[in-house]
């Protein structure tokens, strides 16, 4: 497959409490999202603790899959901030634009 491109519309910053890897869901307090938690956005870079991280809030972003993903799936966070398919009453943090297996990077769209 060709390179996946991301298209941010809105990037915000937040002070992170721990080291953060890029392509992870980040919560409103600057932590990696826990299982099913509502995300502030997606980390856009690797950031050290107590620094300000660029967070993709609105647009198309790249994120790492925490399980099998099918294009069109509603997406939430697993316990490590990776993307998984929404189940039960967990918060929706975006929608998959690509199919992906665990560990693969794929595109999600946020804000629709």
pTM across the whole model = 0.93
What tens digit of pLDDT does each residue of 29-88 get? 999 999 999 999 999 999 999 999 999 999 999 999 999 999 999 999 999 999 999 988
What does the alpha-carbon distance between residue 34 and residue 108 come to, in Å, rounded to a whole number? 18
User: Strands 7-15, 52-64: parallel, antiparallel or unpaired by DSSP?
Assistant: antiparallel
Domains within the chain, CATH numbers bracketed: 7-110 (2.40.300)
């Amino acid at each position: 497959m060709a390179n996946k491109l991301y298209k941010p519309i809105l990037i915000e910053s937040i002070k992170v409490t721990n080291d953060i890897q890029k392509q992870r869901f980040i919560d409103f307090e600057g932590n990696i999202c826990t299982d099913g938690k509502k995300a502030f956005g997606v980390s856009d870079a690797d950031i050290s603790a107590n620094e300000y991280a660029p967070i993709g809030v609105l647009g198309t972003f790249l994120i790492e899959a925490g399980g099998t993903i099918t294009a069109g799936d509603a997406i939430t966070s697993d316990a490590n901030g990776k993307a998984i398919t929404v189940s039960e009453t967990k918060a929706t943090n975006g929608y998959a634009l690509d199919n992906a297996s665990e560990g693969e990077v794929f595109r999600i769209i946020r804000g629709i």
